[in-house]
Amino acid sequence: MPNVFENLATHLKTRRKQAGISQEQLARQTGISLTLIRDIERKAANPTLSSLAKIAEAFDITIVELLDFNKELQDPAKISSAIVKDLRRLPPEKLRLMLEFIRIASM
């Protein structure tokens, strides 16, 4: 699965730069604190849905477009890499349950 906060950080920064606006300008335009804008771009903050909506509105896009999952989900190598990364984080018992679920689902 794509990492939500990495996607958001990357796409927010890219869209902001493409629009030619600073973090300060985006903060003023959205009413979101400059600190939160900076932290989102550094992957250090979890924005609320309300904040995501304000940011998306500032760029005249949807929240889904801001998160941009579609591009990530079209690249099989990125999908595989994300799955392996997430599986490595699981404790052994949860990994066993996941593998059992996959075994049953593939019957």
* Rounded Cα distance, 43 and 8, in Å: 8
Under 8 Å CB-to-CB from 56, ≥6 apart: which residues? 62, 63, 65, 66
Return the SS3 of 50: helix
Was domain 4-70 assigned CATH 1.10.1270.20?
Answer: no
Q: Which two tokens stand for residue 29?
A: 């335009």
Contacts of 1 (CB under 8 A, 6+ apart): 82, 83, 86
Q: What is the mean pLDDT of the chain?
A: 85
Tell me the pLDDT tens digit for each residue of 3-42. 777 888 988 998 899 999 999 999 999 999 999 999 999 9
- 57-95 pLDDT tens trace: 999 988 888 887 655 556 677 667 767 777 888 888 888
Q: What is the pLDDT of residue 34?
A: 96
Boundaries of every domain in the chain: 4-70, 75-105
Terminal-to-terminal C-alpha distance of the chain: 23
Predicted TM-score (pTM) of the model is: 0.62
